[in-house]
């Protein structure tokens, strides 16, 4: 790549790494202070997202800086690069979908309350779902870890990496048809299907919020309590995350597949890096908006030991 293109990509990666480190660190410590009992699905989901985002920036983007600085990737580095890039991208989509579904379920319980007691099996199912997503993601990416090799010839077969990496790191099954079906069809479906479901869940949340605005009790609006405020805010944040991740992924996919002429421009590697890693840097700040009105001393719902009564104006714990 040209020196200007290398410099732009290095600067972009450095900014993304810094922003991601600050945001994910703040989100980690603020969420960890919330835990006062058994681990809830939402907490495990937040920690999983933090780990995925940090892995994306501290592995993939650091390796991009090394590559753009003139470094040479060997076969092991190629395996790590392609495996981490694919794994973190798919898990970010899956966990965001899970986050949206959690708040859709809570919002549905408010709009359509049930007389049944809280189902503890529901939380257990969500906890199991997080572990299943991790195992599934690792299983899907194992072929990438096993068959990626350093190539001397340039073959543009990748979908989620910049062209510079595709020139050196390729998945080689020994069968072009298998490589095509796995990389061009199977992996795209793995990304596109949950994104489609996420958009559907987003519309469902919008419909539930519209229903909630018309909700009355005996023709008298009773208002919202503290826990409901957090759920409404989390549901709206889910809509914002849906718009963010779908727009970034689709833009990245379109640029890779349909704008081959952009490869001659020096800003292309930096642009693709920003599209592929932007979500992992921005999402922690969006998630922290869920509790932006919570006072510092009650940031994570810790009860004050000096007082036996809970103030009425303190909001409940976010992500609960």
Tokens standing for residue 195? 């994104």
Fold of 3-298: Rhopdopsin 7-helix transmembrane proteins (1.20.1070)
Give the side-chain half-sphere CA count within 13 A for 64: 34
Least confidently predicted of 141-150, 187-196, 283-292: 283-292
Sign of the alpha-carbon dihedral angle for 69, 169, 84, 191:
positive
- The residue whose two tokens read 């991208």 is 89
Phi, psi of 71 (to 5 degrees): -70, 160
Quick check: 11 pLDDT over 90? yes
pLDDT at position 29 is 86
pLDDT tens, residue by residue, 46-59: 899 999 999 999 99
Using DSSP, state whether 303 is helix, strand or coil.
Answer: coil
Taking the C-alpha atoms of residue 12 and residue 267, their distance in angstroms, rounded to an integer, is 10
The CB density around residue 77, as the number of other CB atoms within 10 Å, is: 18
pLDDT tens, residue by residue, 98-115: 999 988 988 888 888 765
Say which residues have a Cβ less than 8 Å from residue 161's Cβ, sequence separation at least 6: 81, 82, 85, 169, 276
pLDDT at position 288 is 83
Give the side-chain half-sphere CA count within 13 A for 164: 25
The CB density around residue 247, as the number of other CB atoms within 10 Å, is: 13
Q: How far is CA 302 from the centre of its chain?
A: 27
Nearest Cα to Cα of residue 201 among 112, 106, 282, 92: 106
pLDDT tens, residue by residue, 229-261: 778 888 888 999 999 999 998 888 888 877 666
Helix (H) or strand (E) holding 246, with range, is helix 226-258
Least confidently predicted of 93-102, 123-132, 294-303: 294-303
């Amino acid at each position: 790549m040209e020196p200007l293109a290398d410099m732009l990509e290095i600067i972009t990666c450095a900014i993304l790494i810094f922003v991601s480190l600050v945001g994910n660190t703040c989100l980690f410590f603020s969420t960890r202070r919330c835990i006062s009992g058994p681990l809830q699905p939402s907490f495990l989901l937040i920690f999983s997202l933090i780990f995925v985002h940090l892995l994306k920036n501290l592995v993939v983007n650091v390796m991009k800086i090394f590559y753009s600085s003139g470094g040479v990737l060997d076969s092991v580095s190629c395996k790590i690069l392609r495996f981490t890039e694919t794994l973190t991208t798919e898990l970010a989509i899956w966990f965001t979908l899970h986050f949206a579904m959690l708040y859709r379920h809570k919002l549905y319980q408010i709009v359509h309350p049930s007389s049944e007691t809280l189902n503890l099996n529901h939380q257990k199912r969500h906890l199991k779902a997080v572990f299943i997503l991790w195992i599934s993601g690792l299983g899907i990416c194992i072929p990438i870890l096993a068959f990626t090799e350093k190539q001397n010839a340039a073959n543009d077969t990748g979908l989620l990496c910049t062209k510079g990496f595709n020139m050196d790191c390729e998945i080689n099954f020994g069968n072009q048809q298998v490589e095509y079906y796995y990389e061009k069809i199977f992996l795209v479906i793995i990304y596109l299907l949950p994104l489609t479901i996420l958009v559907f869940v987003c519309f469902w949340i919008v419909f539930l919020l519209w229903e909630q605005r018309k909700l009355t009790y005996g023709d008298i609006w009773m208002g919202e309590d503290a826990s409901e405020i957090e759920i409404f805010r989390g549901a709206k944040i889910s809509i914002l995350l849906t718009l963010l991740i779908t727009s970034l992924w689709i833009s990245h996919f379109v640029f890779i597949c349909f704008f081959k002429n952009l490869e001659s421009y020096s800003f292309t590697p930096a642009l693709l890096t920003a599209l592929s890693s932007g979500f992992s840097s921005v999402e922690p700040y969006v998630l922290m908006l869920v509790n932006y009105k919570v006072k510092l001393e009650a940031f994570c719902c810790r009860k004050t030991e000096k007082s036996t009564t809970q103030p009425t104006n303190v909001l409940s714990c976010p992500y609960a």
